[in-house]
Homo-oligomer: A and B are copies of this chain.
Amino acid sequence: MSKPLVIDCHGHYTTAPNALGDYREQQKKDVKADPLFEHVKGVIDISDDQIRDSLEGAQLKLQRERGTDVAIFSPRASWMGHHIGNQSTSQYWTEHCNDLIYRITQLYPQNFIGAAQLPQSPKADMQASAQELERCVTELGFVGCNLSPDPSGGHWTAPRLDDPYWYPIYEKMCELDVPAMIHVSASCHHCFDTTGSHYLGADTTAFQHYMMAKTLFKDFPNLKLIIPHGGGAVPYHWGRFRGLADMLKLPPLHEIIKDHIYFDTCVYHQEGIDLLLEVVPTDNILFASEMIGAVRGIDPQTGHYFDDTKRYIDGSKLSEADKRKVFELNTRHVFPRLDARLQEVGLL
């Protein structure tokens, strides 16, 4: 058996050089002047050294300090901003964001493995997203993607997640054998706060769509979905959802989720992690920290970073065998392309 790994399945490139933000600001200006503006991809001038600088003192430093081996790394979630502009806005923005992730996975192949942003757009179908996923997986070596359940940024104008609207991306995911993390981007709704109520509400909403899905998992027996941020409100209300499943005459919750729905461990205190580990079957929990993500400070109660979630798993009552599942084995199972990549870079 190989050396145990600690795989963080949810990391974002939140520290990109300014040129990336500048490109986005120009896009915003263009679509402000003309909502139907047809962008060209253009060039973003970021050197390898700039990329190294942006990571060395941040994600890489924290990986070393915390003992994380490798992160499944995707573009900054709050910047996906699918609600901005039109299909071509999202298309080129997404390509650049994914290209940067690819460069990172080439510069630090043992530290970062790519997951794709998708060029969703509120008025577009999922074809462009399916194509970009194919490019990222087959050409750039990515192993997963982030799928937003709400490309409108808080208005929830898209159909429910089991609607045929989403089928082209589910088909492509199954064809390529990659899972999706169901992750919203920034809120443009005045009532929802991005990294608090919006993220957690979206996680809960997405879970319930999948829980109530009638034929989705029959249509896609291999579909695998990760609900981030510890599943939003779901594990805390596991009794409520078990009771609702019962009232709706659905199978028991653990059967519904068994081969399809997974929760990450982005819950930033010991008590929350303990609850997650206690109520959700261990096989459905994947280690993650969202690092560097929503909460960047040090918890005065512990003296450690709020998002150093490895400490909470280490400090939990899980057996060593179950910890290994959470840190490594479950993630290798949910991301079927991961093993080949880990072998390629010498981690397996």
Contacts A159-B190, A247-B297, A297-B246; A237 near B271 (Cβ below 8 A): no
Complex contacts, A190 vs chain B, CB 8 Å: 156, 159-160
Choose among B193, B247, B272 the residue that contacts A295 (Cβ–Cβ < 8 A).
Answer: B247
Q: Contact check, B160 vs A244: say whether CB atoms are below 8 A apart.
A: no
A64 within 8 A of B: no
Q: Contact check, B246 vs A191: say whether CB atoms are below 8 A apart.
A: no
Q: Contact check, B297 vs A268: say whether CB atoms are below 8 A apart.
A: no
Give A96 to B151 CA distance when docked, in angstroms. Answer: 41
A41 within 8 A of B: no
Min C-beta distance of A58 to chain B, whole Å: 16
A236, A295, A297 — most chain B CB neighbours (10 Å): A236
Complex contacts, A301 vs chain B, CB 8 Å: 242
Total number of A residues with any Cβ neighbor in B under 8 Å: 57
A214 within 8 A of B: no
Complex contacts, A197 vs chain B, CB 8 Å: 201, 204-205, 207-208
Choose among B204, B230, B241 the residue that contacts A201 (Cβ–Cβ < 8 A).
Answer: B204
Interface residues of A in 107-163 (CB under 8 A from B): 150, 154-156, 158-160
Contacts A190-B159, A197-B208, A295-B243; A229 near B238 (Cβ below 8 A): no
Q: How many copies does the complex hold?
A: 2
Q: Contact check, B237 vs A200: say whether CB atoms are below 8 A apart.
A: yes
Min C-beta distance of A348 to chain B, whole Å: 32
A40 within 8 A of B: no
Contacts A235-B236, A279-B271; A196 near B241 (Cβ below 8 A): yes
A226 within 8 A of B: no
Contacts A193-B208, A295-B244; A272 near B156 (Cβ below 8 A): no
A267 within 8 A of B: yes
Interface residues of A in 175-193 (CB under 8 A from B): 189-193
- Which 7 residue pairs of A and B lie closest in terms of their CB atoms, listed nearest first? A239-B269, A239-B268, A243-B295, A236-B236, A233-B233, A201-B201, A243-B306
